[in-house]
């Protein structure tokens, strides 16, 4: 039974929640102390119906988070872009295994003539490097300039021979391909093939001016007056010196500089993703802006294997392909096994086994996922200042609790694993 949840001293959340998922509301409250600056939202779909949409804290000072608020979700948006690609593949506009150069002739340069959409979606293209591709992070604001940059980029390894998370480059590689095929802008394609069919309210690559007020941005704190620590001199290769931890990690065969190359374009410290200019740019792997409900609804369609409200958005054979693990190879960028599908990775939990589940997390700890076996989807967004390439405890704890609630509802099984 759906019921209203009002804000109170004991329970720091509000919204609506099916009583079967009440435990998730309590966890959301626990991870949002009253003293935290900012807020968050979650949404859950189960067996094709929304069973929870909950909010906590504030989207803006003295403005409680509610259904209208959206948040920048970093790499969580990569899966939205991938889903758009799968819809277009299902409609016959392009093929996973056709060289991208067929659709985008300029892309063929510098050994990229045989790279396919499958290589890119599964992070096996070798084009994960952004640090050596552009000279300044500000260049990310220029969509066409970034497409030109990757036309002139060379893969760091033979496509298909290794795996490296294309943390930022993914957006221009996939988005550029879709634009070349469809001859429409990426924001327009998102609206036409995903937002309108699913009746989403709040899902953007490039936020329209009139929608900027809905974006929940991190709260500004008083400027830190401490003297910044001087930077250590670069080594002979022009790289920053590695920490002791990174030196130990490098003994396992991981090159910590690969992480820098994938995640940190030059002058990144001066780039503000939350500025109006950045929010209105098209940076699909980093600046997708969504409501929790929009994200969860996209994944609800995927949890139903590409079907929604009697409409086939993704063909069964395409869904089978996109949801299948493409590579078990050790990732050069991510420190944990990712089990890459076509644009999605494994779902991280605190114990629950979810072999058929897939989704995507963002650097700020946002995330969305679905589990077709349980007919379940979940999304979490917020405006805290945080960063971790593998997510954080909030997302893991929420995910674990959602799965536990679903299992009790399905067969009465209340277990940690």
- Given a cut of 50, whether residue 201 has pLDDT beyond it is yes
276's CB contacts (< 8 A; 6+ apart) are: 212
Mean pLDDT estimate for the chain: 92
- CATH number of the domain where residue 320 is located: 3.40.710.10
- Given a cut of 60, whether residue 228 has pLDDT beyond it is no
What pLDDT, on a 0 to 100 scale, did the predictor assign at position 11?
80
- Given a cut of 90, whether residue 91 has pLDDT beyond it is yes
In a domain, 388, yes or no: yes
If one counts the domains in the chain, the total is 1
What residue has token string 């030059």? 266
In a domain, 339, yes or no: yes
3-state SS track over the chain: CEEEECCCCCCCCEEEEEHHHHHHHHHHHHCCCCCCCCEEEEEEEECCEEEEEEEEEEEECCEECCCCCEEECCCHHHHHHHHHHHHHHHCCCCCCCCEHHHHCHHHHCCCCCCCEHHHHHCCCCCCCCCCCCCCCHHHHHCHHHHHHHHHCCCCCCCCCCCECCCCCHHHHHHHHHHHHHHCCCHHHHHHHHHHHHHCCCCEECCCCHHHHHHECCCCCCCCCCCCCCCCCCCCCCCCCCCCHHHHHHHCCCCCHHHHHHHHCCCCHHHCCCCCHHHHCCCCCCCCCEECHHHHHHHHHHHHCCCEECCEECCCHHHHHHHCCCCECCCECCCCCCCCECCCCECCCCCCCCCCCCEEEECCCCCEEEEECCCCEEEEEEECCCCCCCCCCHHHHHHHHHHHHHHHHHHHCCCCCC
What pLDDT, on a 0 to 100 scale, did the predictor assign at position 375?
98
In a domain, 73, yes or no: yes
What pLDDT, on a 0 to 100 scale, did the predictor assign at position 1?
37
Decide if 40 contacts 23 (C-beta within 8 A). Answer: no
Q: Percentage of the chain surpassing pLDDT 90?
A: 82
Adjacent-strand bridge partners of 2: 18
What pLDDT, on a 0 to 100 scale, did the predictor assign at position 34?
65
Q: In degrees rounded to 5, what are phi and psi of residue 64?
A: -60, 145
C-alpha distances in angstroms, 388 versus 74, 100, 394, 397? 11, 31, 12, 15
What pLDDT, on a 0 to 100 scale, did the predictor assign at position 77?
98
Cα gap 243→249, rounded to integer Å: 10
What pLDDT, on a 0 to 100 scale, did the predictor assign at position 373?
98
What's the gap between Cα 191 and its chain centre? 18
- Tens digit of each residue's pLDDT (9 = 90 or more) over 386-415: 777 777 788 999 999 999 999 999 999 889
- Tens digit of each residue's pLDDT (9 = 90 or more) over 176-196: 999 999 999 999 999 999 999
- Tens digit of each residue's pLDDT (9 = 90 or more) over 98-152: 999 999 999 999 999 999 999 999 999 999 999 999 999 999 999 999 999 999 9
3-state SS track over 317-370: HHHHHHCCCCECCCECCCCCCCCECCCCECCCCCCCCCCCCEEEECCCCCEEEE
- Given a cut of 80, whether residue 173 has pLDDT beyond it is yes
CA dihedral 142, 146, 152, 153 (to 10 degrees): 140
Pick the closest to residue 385 from 292, 285, 273, 281 (CA basis). Answer: 273
What pLDDT, on a 0 to 100 scale, did the predictor assign at position 226?
47
What pLDDT, on a 0 to 100 scale, did the predictor assign at position 224?
44
In a domain, 74, yes or no: yes
What is the band of 205 on the pLDDT scale with cuts at 50, 70, 90? very high
Q: Tell me the residue range of the domain where 74 lies.
A: 68-219+236-392
Which residue has better confidence, 220 or 333? 333
What pLDDT, on a 0 to 100 scale, did the predictor assign at position 370?
98
- Tokens read off for 220: 């500004």
What pLDDT, on a 0 to 100 scale, did the predictor assign at position 230?
64
- Given a cut of 70, whether residue 327 has pLDDT beyond it is yes
What pLDDT, on a 0 to 100 scale, did the predictor assign at position 249?
76
In a domain, 100, yes or no: yes
What pLDDT, on a 0 to 100 scale, did the predictor assign at position 33?
65
Q: Percentage of the chain surpassing pLDDT 70?
A: 93
Adjacent-strand bridge partners of 58: 64
In a domain, 34, yes or no: no
Does the pTM of the predicted model rise above 0.85? Answer: yes
What is the band of 232 on the pLDDT scale with cuts at 50, 70, 90? low
Cα gap 168→286, rounded to integer Å: 7
- Tens digit of each residue's pLDDT (9 = 90 or more) over 3-61: 433 333 458 899 999 999 999 999 999 887 666 789 999 999 999 999 999 999 999 99
For 104-108, 234-238, 298-302, 313-317, which range has the lowest pLDDT when averaged over its residues?
Answer: 234-238
Q: Please give the order of strands across the beta sheet that includes 289-290.
A: 71-72, 289-290, 203-204
In a domain, 40, yes or no: no
What pLDDT, on a 0 to 100 scale, did the predictor assign at position 4?
39
Cα gap 187→29, rounded to integer Å: 34
Mean pLDDT of 202-217: 98
What pLDDT, on a 0 to 100 scale, did the predictor assign at position 246?
77
Neighbours of 211 (CB within 10 A): 16
What pLDDT, on a 0 to 100 scale, did the predictor assign at position 43?
98
What pLDDT, on a 0 to 100 scale, did the predictor assign at position 238?
66
In a domain, 109, yes or no: yes
What pLDDT, on a 0 to 100 scale, did the predictor assign at position 199?
98
């Amino acid at each position: 039974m759906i019921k209203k949840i009002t804000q109170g001293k004991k329970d720091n959340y509000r919204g609506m929640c099916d009583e079967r998922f009440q435990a998730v509301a309590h966890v959301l409250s626990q991870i949002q102390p009253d003293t935290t600056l900012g807020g968050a939202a979650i949404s859950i779909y189960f067996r094709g119906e929304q069973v929870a949409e909950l909010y906590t804290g504030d989207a803006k000072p003295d403005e409680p988070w509610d259904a209208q608020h959206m948040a920048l979700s970093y790499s969580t948006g990569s899966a939205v872009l991938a889903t758009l690609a799968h819809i277009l593949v299902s409609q016959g506009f392009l093929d996973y295994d056709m060289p991208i150069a067929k659709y985008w002739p300029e892309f063929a340069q510098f050994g990229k003539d045989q790279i396919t959409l499958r290589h890119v979606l599964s992070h096996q293209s070798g084009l994960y490097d952004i640090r050596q591709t552009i000279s300044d992070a500000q260049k990310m604001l220029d969509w066409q300039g970034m497409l030109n940059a990757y036309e002139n980029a060379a893969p760091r390894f033979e496509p298909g021979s290794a795996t490296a998370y294309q943390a930022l480059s993914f957006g221009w590689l996939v988005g550029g391909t879709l634009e070349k095929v469809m001859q429409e802008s990426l924001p327009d394609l998102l609206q036409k093939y995903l937002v309108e069919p699913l009746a989403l309210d709040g899902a953007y690559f490039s936020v329209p001016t009139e929608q900027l007020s809905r974006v929940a941005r991190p709260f500004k704190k008083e400027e830190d007056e401490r003297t910044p620590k001087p930077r250590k001199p670069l080594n002979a290769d022009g790289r920053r010196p590695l920490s002791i931890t990174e030196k130990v990690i490098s003994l396992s065969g991981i090159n910590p500089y690969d992480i820098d190359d994938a995640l940190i374009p030059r002058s990144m410290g001066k780039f503000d993703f939350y500025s109006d200019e950045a929010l209105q740019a098209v940076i699909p792997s980093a600046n997708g802006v969504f409501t929790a409900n929009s994200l969860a609804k996209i994944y609800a369609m995927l949890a139903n294997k590409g079907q929604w409200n009697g409409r086939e958005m993704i063909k069964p054979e395409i869904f089978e392909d996109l949801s299948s693990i493409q590579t078990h190879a050790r990732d050069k960028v991510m420190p944990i096994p990712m089990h890459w599908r076509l644009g999605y990775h494994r779902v991280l939990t605190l114990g629950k086994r979810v072999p058929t589940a897939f989704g995507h997390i963002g650097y700020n700890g946002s995330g969305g996922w679905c589990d077709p076996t349980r007919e379940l989807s979940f999304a979490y967004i917020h405006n805290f200042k945080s960063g971790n390439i593998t997510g954080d405890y909030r997302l893991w704890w929420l995910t674990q609790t959602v799965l536990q609630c679903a299992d009790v509802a399905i067969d009465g099984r209340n277990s940690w694993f």
